Amino acid sequence: MEIQWLIFGGLVFLALFLDLFVFHRKPHKVSVKESLLFSAFWVLIGLSFGVYVWHAKGEQAFVEYITGYLLEKALSLDNIFVFILIFSYFQIPEEYRHKVLFWGVFGAIVMRAIFIFAGISLIERFDWINYIFGLILIISAVKLLSTEDKAFNPEDTLVYKIAKRLLPMRPDLQRGKFFVKEGRKIYATPMFLTLIFVESSDLMFAIDSVPAILSVSKDPFVVYTSNIFAILGLRSLYFAASAVLSLFHYLHYGLAFILGFIGVKMLISDFYHIPVFVSLLLIVSSILLSILASLVKKKHD
C-alpha cells in the first residue's frame, strides 16, 4: 500500500513542479489552444493513473476511480463560474491568473485530504452519517436549481471583512506578487486576496464534492487520487472553458441532477445498492444532455 501512495505523491509533485517552474515559469496570457493542450495532458495523466489503479487494485477499483474522476470533473465546472466572477471583480490580468489558480489547487490538495479522510473516518464510525451527507447533496441540488444570477460582491462576505481587518493591504497588483515589503512592514496585494477567495470557494465546493465521491468508493486511495487528479486539471480547464461556459445555459440542471442522484443514492444505500457503473453512466449522460440542450437552445435563439 505504501508504494502506491509514494507513486501517487511522486507523480503529483513532478507534475506540479513542471507546471510552475517549466511550463509557466514566466507570467503570460494562456491562450485557448494552450489551455486545451494542457487540459488534454492532465486528462491523459489522470486516465493513465486509472490504468495503474486497475493493475494495482483490480477492475472494481478502476471503475470507482473513473467514476470519481468524472464526478469531480463535472462538479468542478461550477467552480469555474465562481473563479470567473472572482477574477473579474478583483480585475486580475489574465497573465497572473494561472499563478493564483496554481496555489489555489495546491491548497485544495491539502484541504481535500482533510475532508476525505475525515469523511471516511466518520462513515466507518457512524453509519447514519450517510444520511447527513445525502441530505447535504440534495439541499445543494435544490439550491443549484433555485439560485438566480446575482451580482458578486465580496465586500459583503465574512471572508473579505476578516481579511481586510487582519491584513494590511496595498491596492495595486505589484507585478503579480502576493505580498510586498515596504520598510519593515509587509502588505498583502489584491492577488493574495483573490487567492483567499479561490481557496474559500473550493472549501465550499468540497462540502458537496467530498460526500458525493464517498458515495462511489470508501477506499481512501481511490477516493483521494481520483479527486486530486481531477482537480489538477482545473487550472487548464478554466482557461479553456471560461470562454464558452456562459453558452451552456442548462449545465446547472445537469449538475443539480448529479448532486440529487448521489444524495438519493446515499439515503437508500442501506436498502438498495446502486452499482457504480450505473452512477458512471448517469453522470456522463446528464452532462452530455445538458450541454446538448444548451447548444440546441443557442441555435434556436
Task: Tell me, yes or no, whether 168 lies in a domain.
Answer: no
Confidence at residue 54, expressed as pLDDT on a 0 to 100 scale: 94
Confidence at residue 140, expressed as pLDDT on a 0 to 100 scale: 83
Strand, helix or coil at 216? Answer: coil
Task: Tell me, yes or no, whether 191 lies in a domain.
Answer: no
Task: Tell me, yes or no, whether 231 lies in a domain.
Answer: yes
Confidence bin at 222 (pLDDT 50/70/90): very high
- pLDDT tens digits, one per residue of 252-268: 788 888 888 888 888 88
Single pTM value for the model = 0.83
Strand, helix or coil at 273? Answer: coil
Task: Tell me, yes or no, whether 183 lies in a domain.
Answer: no
Of the candidates 54, 77, 52, 135, the residue with the CA atom closest to the CA atom of residue 283? 77
Within a 13 Å sphere around the CA of 25, how many CA atoms are in the beta-carbon half? 5
Task: Tell me, yes or no, whether 181 lies in a domain.
Answer: no
Task: Tell me, yes or no, whether 200 lies in a domain.
Answer: no
Give the separation between CA 194 and CA 186, rounded to whole angstroms. 17
- Domain, as residue range, for 282: 2-17+30-148+207-300
Task: Tell me, yes or no, whether 187 lies in a domain.
Answer: no
**Burial bucket for residue 19 (CB in 10 Å: 0-12, 13-18, 19+):** buried
Looking at the structure of the chain, the number of domains it has is: 1
Task: Tell me, yes or no, whether 278 lies in a domain.
Answer: yes
